[in-house]
Structure 1
Amino acid sequence: MPLSLHAAFVPSCRQVIGGCLAVLAKAEAAGIGDLGEQKLAPDMFPLAFQVQSVAAHSAGAIAAVRAGQFSPGGGLPMPEPDYASFIAMLAEADAALAAVTEAEMEGFIGGQTDFVFRDRRMPFTSENFLLSFSQPNFYFHASMVYAIFRNKGVALGKMDFMGRPRMSL
């Protein structure tokens, strides 16, 4: 049986968003503060950008496919650098993903979605935008949320990043 676009995108995004929420909970419990300054390298975007990008390249990517265009940030505001704002942004993204149906996503196949940044336009079919652009970006930024806190000494492991696997029980 072929894998649907929905099955290839939505469940994994929701799983890793769950992991990001668990990472944030552990970091908050560990007392990691000054969230506006947390990053791995001086030339790296801060934690708030990483959280925004996780939301933008998951639920925001679906919204972009509906609109036919995606720009950096996915039209989402930069969250305040605090746990409540980060959690709210990721919970909203998860809820939006939960509302997307397989039928709607199958209807995206063959559509056009452009990535637009300043004077640059990159055309994609909608499925290639989701699977070759947003999905890799999603995983990259989610891994940065994990890595920033792991680097700060929060006791995190791979399962914290992965979230809850979808086992058949």
Structure 2
Amino acid sequence: MSAITLSELVIPTFTNGLKTLTHILQAAEAHAKANGLDADAEYVGARLIDDMLPLSFQVQNATTNIRKTLNRVTGAEDQPWEDNEKTFAELYKRIDRAQALLSAVDAAKIDAASDNEVLLPFGPQGIKLSAKASVLNQAIPNYFFHVQTAFAILRSKGVPIGKRDFIGSFLELY
């Protein structure tokens, strides 16, 4: 059995999560249309609870996590994106932008950096750890937190989505 490379973990995991985000956003739009609702008004600013950030933030942060992870691991300079999406069309463009990063990244560069030390901006001094540990212990869990929170927000608003909708992209069901 061969070892899984860091790129084999990063690229498909993030790509499939983006497919999940797209799928659940499409389900939300279809649900809104079927019920005479404005999807942008109903869902983009929706939250699970008042002190939690909205759906738009969850998509923004999931995609930001991809950008920052790829840059951190490959040593590329991070170019921040504006977080100003207010419509489903804008959220889809953001997802496409993150997918373009994943499609363009050099897998060999990710793999070569697996043992390199990176700095996670966490706390006043940050945390130094290997690129591999940063992906496994921060990037992927953080990514799934935001994808799952987006799912939960839409589900709480009555969008008829379930486990198959969340995990289907990982099993190549859609």
TM-score of the aligned structures, taking structure 1 as reference length: 0.86
Conservation of the 8 A alpha-carbon contact between 1:59 and 1:96: yes
Conservation of the 8 A alpha-carbon contact between 2:73 and 2:114: no
Which SS does the other structure have where 1:57 is aligned? helix
Give the C-alpha shift of residue 60 in structure 1.
Answer: 2.9
Asked if 1:7 corresponds to 2:15, the answer is: no
Give the C-alpha shift of residue 111 in structure 1.
Answer: 1.4
Asked if 1:96 corresponds to 2:101, the answer is: yes
| Aligned residue type for 1:45 | L
Asked if 1:24 corresponds to 2:25, the answer is: yes
| Aligned residue type for 1:135 | I
Aligned partner of 1:52 in structure 2 is 60
**Partners of 1:90 and 1:24 in 2: CA distance:** 11
**Partners of 2:59 and 2:123 in 1: CA distance:** 22
**Partners of 1:120 and 1:39 in 2: CA distance:** 32
The 5 Å alignment of 1:16-165 reads 16-31=17-32, 32-34=39-41, 35-67=43-75, 75-116=80-121, 119-165=124-170
Conservation of the 8 A alpha-carbon contact between 1:115 and 1:121: yes
Conservation of the 8 A alpha-carbon contact between 2:40 and 2:86: no
**Partners of 2:157 and 2:103 in 1: CA distance:** 32
| Aligned residue type for 2:10 | F
**Partners of 2:68 and 2:58 in 1: CA distance:** 14
Give the C-alpha shift of residue 119 in structure 1.
Answer: 3.2
| Aligned residue type for 1:29 | A
**Partners of 2:95 and 2:109 in 1: CA distance:** 22
Which SS does the other structure have where 1:123 is aligned? strand
TM-score of the aligned structures, taking structure 2 as reference length: 0.84
| Aligned residue type for 1:48 | S
Conservation of the 8 A alpha-carbon contact between 1:47 and 1:145: yes
- For the structure 1 residues 136 and 69, does the alpha-carbon distance in structure 2 shift closer, same or farther, using more than 3 Å as the test? farther
Aligned length: 164
| Aligned residue type for 1:46 | P
**Partners of 1:58 and 1:95 in 2: CA distance:** 11
CA-based RMSD of the aligned residues comes to: 2.2
Identify which range, 128-137 or 100-109, moves more after superposition: 100-109
Which SS does the other structure have where 1:143 is aligned? helix
Percent identity of paired positions between Structure 1 and Structure 2: 25
| Aligned residue type for 2:27 | K
Q: Which runs of 5+ in 2 are unaligned?
A: 33-38
